[in-house]
Amino acid sequence: MSQNLPKLTPEMLIPRMGEYIVQKELITEDQLHQALAYQQEKNAMGEHCLLGQALMDLKMLDRDSLDEVVTEQIIQLRSALQSANRNLEQRVKERTSDLNEALQRLSELNQMKANFVANISHELRTPLTHIKGYLELMVTESLGNISNEQRHALQVTQRATAKLEGIIEDLIMFSLASRGEMSMKLDKVNIRRLVTLSAKSASPKAEERGVQVLVSAKENIPSVQADAEKIGWVISQLLDNGIKFTPSGGSVVISLKEEGRNLILLSVTDTGIGIPPNRMKEIFEPFHQLDGSSTRHFGGTGLGLSLVRQIIEAHGSLLDAQSVEGKGSTFKFPLLAVSD
C-alpha cells in the first residue's frame, strides 16, 4: 500500500499556494482556475498531480519560478512558526509567573489564617480556664450553698464549657498542623487498652442517642508505635463522628486486627446515614460541613476528619474512608505493630 503513496515534496507543505502565486502576479485568477481543473482531471485519472506540476504542464510557470515561490513560502512559514513559538513561550512565562504569584499569595493567606486561628484560640483559652474554675467552685459549693435548680444550671454550663474547650483545642491543633508544627511523640502504645478507654468515654453520648458502641479486638493484640495522645484523639473523633451520624437503634463498631506480621488495622464502622459518593472528598476539607445550611441537624466545626487524616499521615499511615449512602461508613488505617 505504501508504494501507491505520492513522494513527499516541499510543495505539499505549502498551504494555499495558488493564492500566493496570484498575489505575486505570476499568474492570473483565470490561469489558477484552469490549473486547478487540470489538476482535478489528472487526479481523477489516477495520476497524482500537484498544483505546481499542473502550472508547469500548462506552461503557466517554469521550474525556477515554482522553486522560488515554494522557498519563499517555506521561509515565511518558518518565520511565522518561530514568532508563534516566541509568543507562546512569553505567554507561558507570564502565566507561570501569575500562577506563582497566586500560589505565593495563597500560601501567605493560609499562614495568616493559621496564625489568626492560633492567636484567637490561645486568647480564648485563658478566660475559659477562669470560667471552668469558678464553675467548679460553685458546683462544689465552695463559694456558698446552692439549690438543686442552680446546681443543674451550673452543670449544664459546665458541659457547654467543656464543649467549647474541645473546639478551642481542635483549633489550636489545626493551626499547628497547618504550620507544620505538630509534634509527634512516638512510643509503644497498648492499642487495645486505648481503644477500650475511648469506647468507654464515648458510651454516655452513644446511650443518649440510642446507639451501641462495640469493641472487637483480641486480648493479645500487639502494641503499636504511635503518639498515644494523638491517636487517642483520632479514635475519639471517629467514634464521635460515627455516633453523631447514626440514628437510634444503630451501632458503631471499633475493631483491631492484625494485617500480616507488622501492622495492626484499626477500623471504625457505623450503621449511619452514609456519605454520597460524589461528596467523599469534601469530608476532609477543614471548616467544611456537607450540610452547610443554617438549619443543619449536625453540629461541629468541620475540623474533625481533616485533623484525623493529618495526624494519621503524620504517623506514616493513610486513612481509608468507605461509605454507602443510607447504610453507613467505615474509616480505617494501619499502624506499625511492635513486640511487647
For residue 107, what pLDDT band results from cuts at 50, 70 and 90?
A: confident
- What distance in Å separates the CA atoms of residue 72 and residue 66, rounded to the nearest whole number? 10
- What distance in Å separates the CA atoms of residue 30 and residue 45, rounded to the nearest whole number? 23
- Least confident segment among 200-204, 243-247, 282-286, 306-310: 282-286
Query: Are residue 54 and residue 196 in the same domain, yes or no?
Result: no
Residue 13 pLDDT: 54
Does residue 171 form part of some domain?
Answer: no
Residue 15 pLDDT: 64
For residue 123, what pLDDT band results from cuts at 50, 70 and 90?
A: confident
Single-letter amino acid, residue 91: R
Average pLDDT over residues 262-272: 95
Q: How confident is the model over 295-340, as pLDDT tens digits? A: 444 555 667 788 899 999 999 999 999 999 999 999 999 999 997 6
Instruction: Confirm if 256 and 224 have CB atoms less than 8 A apart.
Output: no
| Of the candidates 287, 280, 313, the residue with the CA atom closest to the CA atom of residue 301 | 287
Q: Bigger pLDDT: 79 or 188? A: 188
- Least confident segment among 222-226, 236-240, 273-277: 273-277
Does residue 224 form part of some domain?
Answer: yes
Residue 1 pLDDT: 45
- Say if residue 133 is exposed, middle or buried (CB neighbours under 10 Å; 0-12, 13-18, 19+): exposed
Domain that holds residue 311: 187-338
The overall longest dimension of the chain from CA atoms, in Å, is 122
Does residue 127 form part of some domain?
Answer: no
Does residue 114 form part of some domain?
Answer: no
Name the average pLDDT for the chain. 86
Does residue 174 form part of some domain?
Answer: no
**For residue 294, is pLDDT > 60?**
no
| Of the candidates 45, 51, 39, the residue with the CA atom closest to the CA atom of residue 13 | 51
Domain with 213 in it: what CATH number? Answer: 3.30.565.10
Does residue 51 form part of some domain?
Answer: yes
Residue 147 pLDDT: 92
- Least confident segment among 129-143, 164-178, 209-223, 257-271: 164-178
Single-letter amino acid, residue 50: L
| Residue 117, C-alpha cell as written in the block | 486561628
Q: How confident is the model over 14-49, as pLDDT tens digits? A: 667 888 888 888 889 899 898 889 888 888 888 888
Residue 243 pLDDT: 95
Residue 288 pLDDT: 59
Does residue 158 form part of some domain?
Answer: no
User: How many folded domains does the chain comprise?
Assistant: 2
Residue 10 pLDDT: 53
Query: Are residue 191 and residue 334 in the same domain, yes or no?
Result: yes
Residues 6+ apart with CB under 8 A from 61: 21, 26, 27, 52, 55
Average pLDDT over residues 58-87: 86
Does residue 287 form part of some domain?
Answer: yes
Q: Give phi and psi for 35, each to the nearest 5.
A: -65, -40
Query: Are residue 57 and residue 194 in the same domain, yes or no?
Result: no
Q: pTM score, two decimals?
A: 0.60
Single-letter amino acid, residue 299: G
- What distance in Å separates the CA atoms of residue 206 and residue 248, rounded to the nearest whole number? 9
- Using alpha carbons only, give the angle 39, 28, 7 rounded to the nearest 5 degrees: 30
> Which SS3 state, helix, strand or coil, does residue 301 take?
coil
Average pLDDT over residues 107-115: 77
Residue 217 pLDDT: 92
| Residue 254, C-alpha cell as written in the block | 471499633
